[in-house]
Amino acid sequence: MAATVLFPVKTGFARLGMERGSRNELSNGAADRSATAFAPLVFHKWDSLEGITERHLFPARHELCIQDGSPNSVYLIENGLVKLVRLTGDGSESILGLRSDGWIIDAASAVLNRPFACSAVTLTPCSIRRASRAAFMQLLNRSPSLMHDLNQLICRELHADQEQQIEFRNGSAQSRLDRLLRELSRITRQEDPLDGLPLKRFEVAQLLSITPEHLSRLLRLRDESRPEH
């Protein structure tokens, strides 16, 4: 059973090694090199959700919502790392992206009252704020500031999807890997961010739309090209 605590609580970044600076940098998205395509998206608002949410603590590998399930609840990531996955017709699982602090999971499905487009699974221990969809929509309909925040979040998600498609269509596998590492380093402040990422290598390869074998070759070439100390 998940522990439940009434909101509000302060959002924490220490668990993923995040700092306030990186959070603001990502939320502003001002520079080309800071635009997100692969690494976790974060969002820093939602103060107006204080009265309608409860806080739940979930362990890693917990399924928050299920693909094609009814969006009776709205899930907001307070802190931690969540992966979005979609099951294909043959039963295999494909990772669609990563989400982190402040992100509403599949906000579009909640607003449209459509089934969840994918499942969301925690990769790390997560603090999740949950509200009923009815309460969320009531507040959304009477709060211009909340509507503004939601529009910003959905537009940032669309922009990240566009950046990812640009990489897939115009970039090389090496450029995609370099961008993923750059984005993760900006968030985690680690020189080798994949070492601490709670993802299997085949999931990283799926994010980059390459095979696990090719990912291994690219990482090996990257290690070989590093200057020796």
For the chain, give the percent of residues with pLDDT over 70: 83
State the first-to-last Cα distance of the chain, in angstroms, to the nearest integer: 49
Higher pLDDT pick, 164 / 9: 164
- Rounded CA-CA distance 227/142 in Å is 58
Q: What is the pLDDT of residue 68?
A: 94
User: What distances in angstroms separate CA 111 from CA 83, 144, 175, one per listed residue?
Assistant: 21, 15, 35
Q: How far apart are CA 82 and CA 98, in angstroms?
A: 6
Alpha-carbon distances of 61 from 81, 84, 130, 133, 229, rounded to whole Å:
10, 12, 18, 24, 38
Distance CA 81, CA 124 (A): 6
34 vs 225: which has the higher pLDDT: 225
Highest mean pLDDT among 50-54, 65-69, 178-182: 65-69
Report the pLDDT value the prediction gives residue 136, as an integer from 0 to 100.
94
Taking residues 165-180, report their average pLDDT: 92
Domain 36-225 adopts which CATH fold? Jelly Rolls (2.60.120)
Give the three-class secondary structure for 121: strand
List the one residue out of 196, 197, 74 whose CA is nearest residue 130: 74
The whole-angstrom separation of Cα 175 and Cα 183 is: 12
